[in-house]
Structure 1
Amino acid sequence: MTSNLLNQQIDDILESVLEDATDDVYLINPSREAIEEFVVVATDFDGDLPTVHMLADERTLKEVMDDFIVASNAADLITAGALELRSLEQAPENSLLITDDRVVALVHAGDRVGGLTTDDGEFVEAATDTYAGRWEDATAFNLRTPPISRVRETLAEEIGEGAEEDFTAILGSLETARGDGDGLDEVTISLLVAAKNEALLYDISKWGEDVGIASKATFSRTKTKLEDMGLIDTEKVPIDVGRPRLRLKIGDERLEEADNGQLATVAESILN
Protein backbone atom coordinates (compact mmCIF):
# COMPACT_ATOMS: atom_id res chain seq x y z
CA MET A 1 0.00 0.00 0.00
CA THR A 2 1.38 3.42 -0.92
CA SER A 3 2.20 5.49 2.17
CA ASN A 4 0.32 8.65 2.99
CA LEU A 5 2.33 11.87 2.69
CA LEU A 6 1.75 13.54 6.05
CA ASN A 7 3.30 16.47 7.90
CA GLN A 8 4.89 17.79 4.72
CA GLN A 9 4.87 21.03 2.80
CA ILE A 10 2.90 21.16 -0.44
CA ASP A 11 6.11 21.44 -2.48
CA ASP A 12 7.44 18.21 -0.94
CA ILE A 13 4.25 16.35 -1.88
CA LEU A 14 4.32 17.70 -5.44
CA GLU A 15 7.98 16.82 -5.88
CA SER A 16 7.40 13.30 -4.55
CA VAL A 17 4.55 12.72 -7.01
CA LEU A 18 6.51 14.11 -9.98
CA GLU A 19 9.54 11.97 -9.15
CA ASP A 20 7.47 8.77 -9.08
CA ALA A 21 5.18 9.48 -12.05
CA THR A 22 5.85 7.46 -15.19
CA ASP A 23 2.98 8.86 -17.26
CA ASP A 24 0.77 11.94 -17.44
CA VAL A 25 -0.44 13.49 -14.17
CA TYR A 26 -3.75 15.19 -13.42
CA LEU A 27 -3.65 18.02 -10.88
CA ILE A 28 -7.28 18.66 -10.01
CA ASN A 29 -8.66 21.75 -8.28
CA PRO A 30 -5.35 22.94 -6.80
CA SER A 31 -5.37 25.79 -4.33
CA ARG A 32 -3.68 29.07 -5.15
CA GLU A 33 -0.70 27.98 -3.05
CA ALA A 34 -0.54 24.60 -4.80
CA ILE A 35 -0.47 26.23 -8.25
CA GLU A 36 2.32 28.58 -7.23
CA GLU A 37 4.32 25.80 -5.59
CA PHE A 38 3.82 23.49 -8.55
CA VAL A 39 5.35 26.06 -10.90
CA VAL A 40 8.35 26.47 -8.59
CA VAL A 41 8.85 22.73 -8.14
CA ALA A 42 8.42 21.94 -11.83
CA THR A 43 10.73 24.78 -12.89
CA ASP A 44 13.48 23.55 -10.56
CA PHE A 45 12.82 19.84 -11.21
CA ASP A 46 15.94 17.84 -11.99
CA GLY A 47 14.84 15.19 -14.46
CA ASP A 48 12.22 14.49 -17.09
CA LEU A 49 8.87 15.97 -16.19
CA PRO A 50 5.63 14.20 -17.01
CA THR A 51 2.92 16.26 -18.66
CA VAL A 52 0.75 17.71 -15.91
CA HIS A 53 -2.88 18.41 -16.83
CA MET A 54 -3.91 21.14 -14.40
CA LEU A 55 -7.68 21.51 -14.09
CA ALA A 56 -8.39 24.49 -11.89
CA ASP A 57 -10.99 27.04 -10.92
CA GLU A 58 -10.89 29.81 -13.52
CA ARG A 59 -10.87 32.66 -11.00
CA THR A 60 -8.04 31.05 -9.03
CA LEU A 61 -5.98 30.58 -12.19
CA LYS A 62 -6.50 34.20 -13.20
CA GLU A 63 -5.47 35.47 -9.77
CA VAL A 64 -2.34 33.34 -9.65
CA MET A 65 -1.30 34.07 -13.23
CA ASP A 66 -1.60 37.79 -12.62
CA ASP A 67 1.85 37.44 -11.05
CA PHE A 68 4.38 37.76 -13.88
CA ILE A 69 6.93 35.60 -12.05
CA VAL A 70 4.54 32.66 -11.77
CA ALA A 71 2.94 33.13 -15.18
CA SER A 72 6.17 33.50 -17.17
CA ASN A 73 7.62 30.35 -15.61
CA ALA A 74 4.34 28.51 -16.22
CA ALA A 75 4.56 29.63 -19.86
CA ASP A 76 8.01 28.04 -20.06
CA LEU A 77 6.56 24.76 -18.75
CA ILE A 78 3.75 24.93 -21.32
CA THR A 79 6.25 25.53 -24.12
CA ALA A 80 8.26 22.52 -22.93
CA GLY A 81 5.15 20.32 -22.98
CA ALA A 82 5.26 19.79 -19.21
CA LEU A 83 2.05 21.66 -18.39
CA GLU A 84 -1.42 22.09 -19.84
CA LEU A 85 -4.00 24.40 -18.28
CA ARG A 86 -7.76 24.12 -18.42
CA SER A 87 -10.39 25.77 -16.30
CA LEU A 88 -13.83 25.02 -14.96
CA GLU A 89 -16.42 27.55 -13.91
CA GLN A 90 -17.45 25.17 -11.14
CA ALA A 91 -14.45 23.46 -9.57
CA PRO A 92 -14.63 19.88 -8.23
CA GLU A 93 -14.99 19.42 -4.48
CA ASN A 94 -11.72 17.56 -4.12
CA SER A 95 -8.12 18.65 -4.62
CA LEU A 96 -6.32 15.69 -6.18
CA LEU A 97 -3.14 14.45 -7.80
CA ILE A 98 -3.77 11.50 -10.10
CA THR A 99 -0.96 9.47 -11.64
CA ASP A 100 -0.94 6.17 -13.48
CA ASP A 101 -0.76 4.20 -10.23
CA ARG A 102 -2.12 6.32 -7.38
CA VAL A 103 -4.52 9.03 -6.28
CA VAL A 104 -3.39 11.60 -3.73
CA ALA A 105 -5.97 13.80 -2.00
CA LEU A 106 -4.44 17.08 -0.86
CA VAL A 107 -5.84 18.01 2.53
CA HIS A 108 -5.03 21.33 4.23
CA ALA A 109 -5.22 21.44 8.01
CA GLY A 110 -4.20 24.90 9.18
CA ASP A 111 -0.59 25.37 8.15
CA ARG A 112 -0.14 21.64 7.57
CA VAL A 113 -0.78 19.65 4.38
CA GLY A 114 -1.40 15.95 4.03
CA GLY A 115 -1.38 13.77 0.97
CA LEU A 116 -3.86 10.96 1.61
CA THR A 117 -2.92 8.27 -0.85
CA THR A 118 -4.41 5.13 -2.38
CA ASP A 119 -3.00 2.80 -5.01
CA ASP A 120 -6.11 0.62 -5.27
CA GLY A 121 -6.21 -0.26 -8.96
CA GLU A 122 -9.96 0.00 -9.46
CA PHE A 123 -10.19 3.32 -7.64
CA VAL A 124 -7.23 4.80 -9.54
CA GLU A 125 -8.78 3.70 -12.84
CA ALA A 126 -12.17 5.16 -11.90
CA ALA A 127 -10.64 8.47 -10.81
CA THR A 128 -8.57 8.66 -13.98
CA ASP A 129 -11.59 8.01 -16.20
CA THR A 130 -13.70 10.54 -14.31
CA TYR A 131 -11.25 13.39 -14.48
CA ALA A 132 -10.02 12.58 -17.96
CA GLY A 133 -13.63 13.08 -19.01
CA ARG A 134 -13.89 16.35 -17.14
CA TRP A 135 -10.61 17.42 -18.70
CA GLU A 136 -11.97 16.83 -22.20
CA ASP A 137 -15.03 18.97 -21.39
CA ALA A 138 -13.03 21.79 -19.80
CA THR A 139 -12.03 25.07 -21.42
CA ALA A 140 -8.41 25.73 -22.33
CA PHE A 141 -6.94 28.53 -20.21
CA ASN A 142 -5.36 31.21 -22.39
CA LEU A 143 -2.11 32.25 -20.70
CA ARG A 144 -1.01 35.40 -22.48
CA THR A 145 2.22 35.92 -20.54
CA PRO A 146 5.35 35.11 -22.58
CA PRO A 147 7.81 32.42 -21.40
CA ILE A 148 10.50 33.86 -19.15
CA SER A 149 13.25 32.19 -21.21
CA ARG A 150 12.10 34.06 -24.33
CA VAL A 151 11.81 37.32 -22.38
CA ARG A 152 15.39 37.03 -21.18
CA GLU A 153 16.77 35.90 -24.52
CA THR A 154 15.13 38.67 -26.52
CA LEU A 155 15.94 41.33 -23.92
CA ALA A 156 19.62 40.44 -24.19
CA GLU A 157 19.43 40.56 -27.98
CA GLU A 158 17.39 43.77 -28.33
CA ILE A 159 18.55 45.87 -25.37
CA GLY A 160 21.76 44.24 -24.16
CA GLU A 161 23.14 41.51 -21.92
CA GLY A 162 23.50 43.97 -19.06
CA ALA A 163 19.80 44.74 -19.24
CA GLU A 164 18.93 41.05 -19.17
CA GLU A 165 21.17 40.50 -16.13
CA ASP A 166 19.54 43.45 -14.35
CA PHE A 167 16.04 42.21 -15.23
CA THR A 168 16.80 38.72 -13.92
CA ALA A 169 18.37 40.08 -10.73
CA ILE A 170 15.38 42.31 -9.99
CA LEU A 171 12.90 39.47 -10.54
CA GLY A 172 15.02 37.29 -8.28
CA SER A 173 14.73 39.85 -5.48
CA LEU A 174 10.91 39.93 -5.64
CA GLU A 175 8.36 37.54 -4.21
CA THR A 176 5.69 38.70 -6.66
CA ALA A 177 5.51 40.94 -9.71
CA ARG A 178 1.91 42.16 -9.79
CA GLY A 179 2.08 45.91 -9.50
CA ASP A 180 -0.87 45.96 -7.09
CA GLY A 181 1.04 46.87 -3.98
CA ASP A 182 2.53 43.39 -3.61
CA GLY A 183 5.38 44.01 -6.04
CA LEU A 184 6.45 45.88 -9.13
CA ASP A 185 4.86 44.80 -12.39
CA GLU A 186 6.77 43.63 -15.44
CA VAL A 187 6.38 46.90 -17.34
CA THR A 188 7.76 48.96 -14.47
CA ILE A 189 10.66 46.54 -14.04
CA SER A 190 11.42 46.70 -17.76
CA LEU A 191 11.44 50.51 -17.72
CA LEU A 192 13.67 50.67 -14.64
CA VAL A 193 16.09 48.26 -16.31
CA ALA A 194 16.02 50.33 -19.49
CA ALA A 195 16.70 53.51 -17.50
CA LYS A 196 19.55 51.85 -15.62
CA ASN A 197 21.08 50.88 -18.97
CA GLU A 198 20.13 54.20 -20.63
CA ALA A 199 18.16 52.52 -23.41
CA LEU A 200 15.70 54.31 -25.69
CA LEU A 201 12.03 54.30 -24.76
CA TYR A 202 11.26 53.31 -28.36
CA ASP A 203 13.53 50.25 -28.12
CA ILE A 204 12.25 48.94 -24.76
CA SER A 205 8.59 49.52 -25.64
CA LYS A 206 8.97 47.87 -29.06
CA TRP A 207 10.71 44.93 -27.42
CA GLY A 208 7.99 44.69 -24.77
CA GLU A 209 5.20 44.71 -27.34
CA ASP A 210 6.96 42.23 -29.65
CA VAL A 211 7.68 39.73 -26.86
CA GLY A 212 4.15 40.02 -25.47
CA ILE A 213 4.67 41.83 -22.17
CA ALA A 214 2.48 44.86 -22.94
CA SER A 215 1.59 47.33 -25.66
CA LYS A 216 3.69 50.36 -26.54
CA ALA A 217 0.88 52.51 -25.16
CA THR A 218 1.13 50.78 -21.78
CA PHE A 219 4.87 51.31 -21.72
CA SER A 220 4.35 54.99 -22.58
CA ARG A 221 1.75 55.50 -19.83
CA THR A 222 3.92 53.77 -17.25
CA LYS A 223 6.95 55.81 -18.33
CA THR A 224 4.98 59.01 -17.76
CA LYS A 225 3.92 57.83 -14.29
CA LEU A 226 7.48 56.91 -13.30
CA GLU A 227 8.81 60.17 -14.72
CA ASP A 228 6.20 62.21 -12.85
CA MET A 229 7.23 60.46 -9.62
CA GLY A 230 10.89 61.13 -10.28
CA LEU A 231 12.04 57.52 -10.62
CA ILE A 232 13.22 57.93 -14.20
CA ASP A 233 14.23 60.83 -16.39
CA THR A 234 14.47 61.28 -20.15
CA GLU A 235 16.62 63.12 -22.61
CA LYS A 236 15.91 63.75 -26.28
CA VAL A 237 18.08 61.96 -28.84
CA PRO A 238 17.91 63.46 -32.35
CA ILE A 239 17.49 61.08 -35.30
CA ASP A 240 17.93 61.65 -39.03
CA VAL A 241 14.23 61.66 -39.85
CA GLY A 242 11.27 62.30 -37.60
CA ARG A 243 10.81 63.39 -34.01
CA PRO A 244 13.67 62.92 -31.52
CA ARG A 245 13.52 59.75 -29.45
CA LEU A 246 13.75 59.61 -25.68
CA ARG A 247 16.64 58.03 -23.82
CA LEU A 248 15.65 56.72 -20.39
CA LYS A 249 17.81 57.48 -17.36
CA ILE A 250 17.53 56.88 -13.63
CA GLY A 251 15.97 59.98 -12.10
CA ASP A 252 16.37 59.40 -8.35
CA GLU A 253 19.78 59.21 -6.70
CA ARG A 254 18.48 56.54 -4.31
CA LEU A 255 18.00 54.26 -7.31
CA GLU A 256 21.41 55.16 -8.71
CA GLU A 257 23.04 54.07 -5.45
CA ALA A 258 21.08 50.82 -5.16
CA ASP A 259 22.40 47.54 -6.53
CA ASN A 260 20.09 45.15 -8.36
CA GLY A 261 19.12 43.35 -5.17
CA GLN A 262 17.98 46.63 -3.63
CA LEU A 263 16.60 48.37 -6.72
CA ALA A 264 13.15 46.83 -6.47
CA THR A 265 12.87 47.56 -2.74
CA VAL A 266 13.90 51.18 -3.19
CA ALA A 267 11.57 51.66 -6.17
CA GLU A 268 8.63 50.16 -4.27
CA SER A 269 9.28 52.43 -1.28
CA ILE A 270 9.23 55.48 -3.57
CA LEU A 271 6.10 54.35 -5.42
CA ASN A 272 4.26 53.65 -2.15
Structure 2
Amino acid sequence: MVASKTELFERILDDESGEVFVVGIDNDTTEALLDVLGDLDDSPTVRLLAAESVLKGVRSDFVLASTAAELVEADTLELRTSDEPAGTGLVVTDDQLVSLVPAGRYTAGLATDDTTFVDEANEHWQGSWERSDEFALRTPARSQVEESLTETFGPDVETDFRTMVNALRTARGSGNDGLDEVGASLLVAAKHEALLYDISKWGEDVGVASKATFSRMKTTLEQQGLITTEKVPIDVGRPRLRLLLADDRFEGASAEEIASAAHGSLSRTQT
Protein backbone atom coordinates (compact mmCIF):
# COMPACT_ATOMS: atom_id res chain seq x y z
CA MET A 1 0.00 0.00 0.00
CA VAL A 2 1.36 3.42 -0.98
CA ALA A 3 -0.72 6.46 -0.08
CA SER A 4 -0.83 9.50 2.18
CA LYS A 5 -0.69 8.86 5.92
CA THR A 6 -4.38 9.64 6.23
CA GLU A 7 -5.34 7.27 3.42
CA LEU A 8 -3.23 4.49 4.91
CA PHE A 9 -4.90 4.77 8.29
CA GLU A 10 -8.32 4.84 6.63
CA ARG A 11 -7.55 1.61 4.80
CA ILE A 12 -6.04 -0.12 7.82
CA LEU A 13 -8.64 0.89 10.41
CA ASP A 14 -11.84 0.97 8.36
CA ASP A 15 -12.84 -2.66 8.99
CA GLU A 16 -11.22 -3.09 12.40
CA SER A 17 -13.40 -3.44 15.48
CA GLY A 18 -11.07 -4.73 18.21
CA GLU A 19 -7.94 -3.27 19.75
CA VAL A 20 -5.12 -1.91 17.59
CA PHE A 21 -1.60 -0.98 18.65
CA VAL A 22 -0.05 2.03 16.91
CA VAL A 23 3.60 2.31 17.87
CA GLY A 24 6.49 4.68 17.30
CA ILE A 25 4.88 7.21 14.97
CA ASP A 26 6.02 10.82 14.62
CA ASN A 27 4.10 14.09 15.05
CA ASP A 28 2.70 14.33 11.52
CA THR A 29 1.62 10.69 11.51
CA THR A 30 -0.05 11.14 14.89
CA GLU A 31 -2.01 14.08 13.51
CA ALA A 32 -3.15 11.95 10.56
CA LEU A 33 -4.20 9.16 12.93
CA LEU A 34 -6.30 11.53 15.05
CA ASP A 35 -7.97 12.98 11.97
CA VAL A 36 -8.95 9.52 10.76
CA LEU A 37 -10.18 8.32 14.15
CA GLY A 38 -12.34 11.42 14.47
CA ASP A 39 -14.05 10.66 11.16
CA LEU A 40 -14.66 6.92 11.56
CA ASP A 41 -18.24 5.95 12.40
CA ASP A 42 -17.24 2.65 14.03
CA SER A 43 -13.67 2.93 15.20
CA PRO A 44 -11.54 0.29 16.92
CA THR A 45 -9.86 1.11 20.21
CA VAL A 46 -6.42 2.41 19.30
CA ARG A 47 -3.63 2.10 21.84
CA LEU A 48 -1.09 4.73 20.83
CA LEU A 49 2.35 4.04 22.27
CA ALA A 50 4.63 6.94 21.36
CA ALA A 51 7.62 8.94 22.53
CA GLU A 52 6.82 11.47 25.23
CA SER A 53 7.94 14.31 22.95
CA VAL A 54 5.32 13.31 20.36
CA LEU A 55 2.48 13.23 22.88
CA LYS A 56 3.62 16.53 24.39
CA GLY A 57 3.40 17.93 20.87
CA VAL A 58 -0.23 16.82 20.77
CA ARG A 59 -0.89 18.38 24.16
CA SER A 60 0.62 21.72 23.10
CA ASP A 61 -1.76 22.02 20.13
CA PHE A 62 -5.27 22.80 21.37
CA VAL A 63 -7.06 21.44 18.30
CA LEU A 64 -5.16 18.16 18.37
CA ALA A 65 -5.33 17.84 22.15
CA SER A 66 -9.06 18.53 22.35
CA THR A 67 -9.68 16.09 19.49
CA ALA A 68 -7.59 13.46 21.24
CA ALA A 69 -9.43 14.12 24.51
CA GLU A 70 -12.72 13.57 22.70
CA LEU A 71 -11.47 10.21 21.43
CA VAL A 72 -10.20 9.23 24.88
CA GLU A 73 -13.60 10.01 26.40
CA ALA A 74 -15.25 7.86 23.72
CA ASP A 75 -12.93 4.94 24.58
CA THR A 76 -11.59 5.10 21.03
CA LEU A 77 -8.05 6.16 22.00
CA GLU A 78 -5.62 5.36 24.80
CA LEU A 79 -2.27 7.11 25.19
CA ARG A 80 0.93 5.90 26.78
CA THR A 81 4.59 6.88 26.50
CA SER A 82 7.50 4.60 25.76
CA ASP A 83 11.16 5.02 24.85
CA GLU A 84 11.32 1.54 23.35
CA PRO A 85 12.36 1.91 19.70
CA ALA A 86 9.97 0.44 17.15
CA GLY A 87 12.38 0.88 14.24
CA THR A 88 9.60 2.44 12.22
CA GLY A 89 5.97 3.30 12.78
CA LEU A 90 3.88 0.18 13.27
CA VAL A 91 0.18 -0.65 13.23
CA VAL A 92 -0.58 -4.01 14.80
CA THR A 93 -4.10 -5.44 14.49
CA ASP A 94 -5.45 -8.88 15.34
CA ASP A 95 -4.62 -10.23 11.89
CA GLN A 96 -1.88 -8.07 10.37
CA LEU A 97 1.14 -5.93 11.08
CA VAL A 98 1.77 -2.88 8.92
CA SER A 99 5.13 -1.10 8.91
CA LEU A 100 4.82 2.58 7.93
CA VAL A 101 7.66 3.72 5.68
CA PRO A 102 7.54 7.45 4.82
CA ALA A 103 8.80 8.79 1.49
CA GLY A 104 8.05 12.47 0.95
CA ARG A 105 4.35 13.06 0.31
CA TYR A 106 3.55 9.37 0.46
CA THR A 107 3.91 6.56 2.96
CA ALA A 108 4.24 2.88 2.15
CA GLY A 109 2.40 0.40 4.31
CA LEU A 110 4.36 -2.86 4.24
CA ALA A 111 1.98 -5.49 5.61
CA THR A 112 2.23 -9.09 6.73
CA ASP A 113 -0.57 -11.38 7.83
CA ASP A 114 1.64 -14.26 8.95
CA THR A 115 -0.32 -15.57 11.91
CA THR A 116 2.64 -16.56 14.08
CA PHE A 117 4.47 -13.27 13.48
CA VAL A 118 1.38 -11.13 14.08
CA ASP A 119 0.52 -13.01 17.28
CA GLU A 120 4.04 -12.53 18.60
CA ALA A 121 3.97 -8.85 17.69
CA ASN A 122 0.69 -8.39 19.57
CA GLU A 123 2.12 -10.20 22.59
CA HIS A 124 5.29 -8.08 22.50
CA TRP A 125 3.52 -4.74 22.28
CA GLN A 126 0.92 -5.78 24.84
CA GLY A 127 3.80 -6.32 27.25
CA SER A 128 5.31 -2.95 26.33
CA TRP A 129 1.95 -1.31 26.84
CA GLU A 130 1.58 -2.75 30.32
CA ARG A 131 5.06 -1.50 31.26
CA SER A 132 4.52 2.00 29.86
CA ASP A 133 3.20 5.15 31.54
CA GLU A 134 -0.20 6.69 30.93
CA PHE A 135 -0.13 10.14 29.36
CA ALA A 136 -2.49 12.88 30.59
CA LEU A 137 -3.63 15.41 28.00
CA ARG A 138 -4.96 17.92 30.57
CA THR A 139 -7.18 19.34 27.82
CA PRO A 140 -11.00 19.26 27.69
CA ALA A 141 -12.73 17.39 24.90
CA ARG A 142 -13.59 19.56 21.90
CA SER A 143 -17.34 18.92 22.21
CA GLN A 144 -17.25 19.93 25.88
CA VAL A 145 -15.59 23.24 25.00
CA GLU A 146 -18.02 23.99 22.18
CA GLU A 147 -21.13 22.97 24.11
CA SER A 148 -20.14 25.09 27.09
CA LEU A 149 -19.53 28.08 24.82
CA THR A 150 -23.00 27.71 23.32
CA GLU A 151 -24.58 27.41 26.75
CA THR A 152 -22.69 30.40 28.15
CA PHE A 153 -22.52 32.81 25.20
CA GLY A 154 -24.76 31.45 22.45
CA PRO A 155 -24.25 29.61 19.16
CA ASP A 156 -22.75 32.56 17.27
CA VAL A 157 -19.84 32.79 19.69
CA GLU A 158 -19.29 29.03 19.53
CA THR A 159 -19.30 29.09 15.71
CA ASP A 160 -16.78 31.94 15.60
CA PHE A 161 -14.55 30.23 18.17
CA ARG A 162 -14.56 26.97 16.22
CA THR A 163 -13.81 28.80 12.98
CA MET A 164 -11.04 30.86 14.53
CA VAL A 165 -9.31 27.94 16.27
CA ASN A 166 -9.33 25.90 13.05
CA ALA A 167 -8.01 28.89 11.12
CA LEU A 168 -5.21 29.65 13.56
CA ARG A 169 -4.02 26.05 13.47
CA THR A 170 -3.73 26.25 9.68
CA ALA A 171 -1.87 29.54 10.01
CA ARG A 172 0.53 28.19 12.64
CA GLY A 173 1.34 25.02 10.74
CA SER A 174 3.69 22.90 12.83
CA GLY A 175 4.84 25.79 14.99
CA ASN A 176 3.40 27.01 18.27
CA ASP A 177 4.12 30.74 17.97
CA GLY A 178 1.47 33.35 17.33
CA LEU A 179 -2.19 33.18 18.25
CA ASP A 180 -3.36 30.37 20.51
CA GLU A 181 -6.70 29.18 21.88
CA VAL A 182 -6.67 31.76 24.70
CA GLY A 183 -6.07 34.60 22.27
CA ALA A 184 -8.77 33.20 19.99
CA SER A 185 -11.22 33.10 22.90
CA LEU A 186 -10.50 36.74 23.73
CA LEU A 187 -10.78 37.88 20.12
CA VAL A 188 -14.11 36.09 19.71
CA ALA A 189 -15.30 37.65 22.95
CA ALA A 190 -14.21 41.07 21.66
CA LYS A 191 -15.98 40.46 18.35
CA HIS A 192 -19.19 39.88 20.32
CA GLU A 193 -18.40 42.57 22.94
CA ALA A 194 -18.44 40.15 25.88
CA LEU A 195 -16.96 40.82 29.29
CA LEU A 196 -13.39 39.81 30.13
CA TYR A 197 -14.65 38.38 33.43
CA ASP A 198 -17.15 36.13 31.65
CA ILE A 199 -14.80 34.72 29.01
CA SER A 200 -11.94 34.16 31.47
CA LYS A 201 -14.26 32.49 33.99
CA TRP A 202 -15.61 30.27 31.23
CA GLY A 203 -12.07 29.40 30.13
CA GLU A 204 -10.97 28.47 33.63
CA ASP A 205 -14.15 26.51 34.40
CA VAL A 206 -13.99 24.42 31.22
CA GLY A 207 -10.24 23.84 31.46
CA VAL A 208 -8.89 25.93 28.58
CA ALA A 209 -6.61 28.07 30.78
CA SER A 210 -6.49 29.95 34.06
CA LYS A 211 -7.89 33.44 34.58
CA ALA A 212 -4.32 34.66 34.99
CA THR A 213 -3.41 33.29 31.55
CA PHE A 214 -6.42 35.03 30.04
CA SER A 215 -5.40 38.27 31.74
CA ARG A 216 -1.83 38.07 30.39
CA MET A 217 -3.05 37.37 26.89
CA LYS A 218 -5.53 40.25 27.13
CA THR A 219 -2.61 42.56 27.92
CA THR A 220 -0.62 41.19 24.96
CA LEU A 221 -3.53 41.70 22.55
CA GLU A 222 -4.01 45.24 23.86
CA GLN A 223 -0.32 46.04 23.41
CA GLN A 224 -0.56 44.84 19.80
CA GLY A 225 -3.55 47.11 19.20
CA LEU A 226 -5.82 44.14 18.46
CA ILE A 227 -8.35 44.66 21.23
CA THR A 228 -9.36 47.37 23.66
CA THR A 229 -11.63 47.51 26.68
CA GLU A 230 -14.28 49.74 28.18
CA LYS A 231 -15.44 49.82 31.78
CA VAL A 232 -18.91 48.52 32.59
CA PRO A 233 -20.25 49.59 36.01
CA ILE A 234 -21.81 46.93 38.22
CA ASP A 235 -23.94 47.26 41.35
CA VAL A 236 -21.26 46.05 43.75
CA GLY A 237 -17.49 46.01 43.34
CA ARG A 238 -15.09 47.23 40.69
CA PRO A 239 -16.34 47.83 37.15
CA ARG A 240 -16.01 44.95 34.69
CA LEU A 241 -14.17 45.29 31.39
CA ARG A 242 -15.97 44.82 28.09
CA LEU A 243 -13.74 43.50 25.30
CA LEU A 244 -13.82 45.27 21.94
CA LEU A 245 -11.94 44.82 18.68
CA ALA A 246 -9.51 47.69 18.14
CA ASP A 247 -7.80 47.03 14.79
CA ASP A 248 -9.37 48.80 11.79
CA ARG A 249 -8.78 45.65 9.72
CA PHE A 250 -11.34 43.83 11.86
CA GLU A 251 -14.32 45.99 10.89
CA GLY A 252 -16.71 43.64 9.13
CA ALA A 253 -14.09 40.86 9.09
CA SER A 254 -14.92 37.20 9.54
CA ALA A 255 -13.59 35.14 12.43
CA GLU A 256 -11.13 33.47 10.07
CA GLU A 257 -9.81 36.81 8.83
CA ILE A 258 -9.44 38.10 12.39
CA ALA A 259 -7.51 34.99 13.40
CA SER A 260 -5.16 35.27 10.44
CA ALA A 261 -4.43 38.96 11.00
CA ALA A 262 -3.93 38.55 14.75
CA HIS A 263 -1.68 35.56 14.22
CA GLY A 264 0.49 37.57 11.84
CA SER A 265 0.82 40.43 14.31
CA LEU A 266 1.73 38.16 17.21
CA SER A 267 4.15 36.08 15.16
CA ARG A 268 6.10 39.17 14.10
CA THR A 269 6.34 40.24 17.74
CA GLN A 270 7.67 36.87 18.89
CA THR A 271 10.37 36.55 16.22
Report the TM range for the smaller structure's normalisation.
Answer: over 0.9
C-alpha displacement of 1:43? 1.1
Is 1:27 the equivalent of 2:22?
yes
Per-residue CA deviation, residues 96-143 of structure 1 (Å, 9 max, x unaligned), is: 001111000011123331000011110010000000000000000110
Corresponding letter in the other structure for 1:133? G
Comparing 109-118 with 189-198, greater Cα deviation is found at 109-118
SS at match of 1:101: coil
- What does residue 218 of structure 1 align with? 213
1:98 paired with 2:92, answer: yes
Question: Is 1:185 aligned to residue 163 of structure 2?
Answer: no
Secondary structure of the structure 1 residue equivalent to 2:231: strand
Structure 1 residue 57 displacement after superposition = 0.4
Structure 2 match to 1:55: 49
Instruction: Tell me what 1:64 maps to.
Output: 58
Structure 1 unaligned segments of length 5 or more: list them.
Answer: none
2:2 is equivalent to residue 12 of structure 1: no
For 1:248 and 1:12, locate their aligned partners in 2 and report how far apart those are by CA, in whole Å: 43
1:70-109 map, 5 Å:
70-109=64-103
Report the count of equivalent residues: 266
Residue identity in the other structure for 2:19: D
Distance 2:54 2:128 in 1: 18
How far apart are 1:93 and its partner, in Å?
A: 2.3
| Matched-pair contact (CA < 8 Å) for 1:68–1:176 | no
Please name the residue that 2:167 is paired with: 173
SS for the counterpart of 2:109 is strand
Opposite residue 201 of structure 1, the aligned amino acid is L
SS at match of 1:113: strand
- What letter corresponds to residue 134 of structure 1 in structure 2? S
- Say if 2:91 and 2:99, in contact at 8 Å, map to a contact too: yes
Which amino acid in structure 2 is aligned with residue 106 of structure 1?
A: L
Offset of 1:178 from its aligned partner? Answer: 8.6
Equivalence map 1:114-129=2 (5 Å): 114-129=108-123
Bigger shift: residues 61-70 or 124-133: 61-70
Q: Which residue of 1 aligns with 2:255?
A: 260
| Mapped partners of 1:40, 1:144: distance in 2 | 19
Paired amino acid for 1:109: A
Q: 1:243 aligned to 238, 245, 253, which one? A: 238
Write the deviation string for residues 66-103 of structure 1: whole angstroms up to 9, x where unpaired. 11111111111111110000001344323100111100
Q: Gaps spanning 5+ residues in structure 2: where?
A: none
Amino acid corresponding to residue 122 of structure 1 in structure 2: T
Whole-Å Cα distance in 2 between the matches of residues 203 and 91 of structure 1?
A: 47
Q: Give % identity.
A: 48
> Match for residue 135 of structure 1?
129
Contact 1:56 1:91 in 2 (8 A): no
TM-score by length of 2: 0.93
- Alpha-carbon distance, 1:171 to partner: 2.2
**Could you tell me whether the CA contact under 8 Å between 2:68 and 2:141 is conserved in 1?**
yes
Amino acid corresponding to residue 142 of structure 1 in structure 2: A
2:191 maps to 196
Alpha-carbon distance, 1:240 to partner: 1.1
Return the offset for 1:31. 1.4
Distance 2:174 2:148 in 1: 23
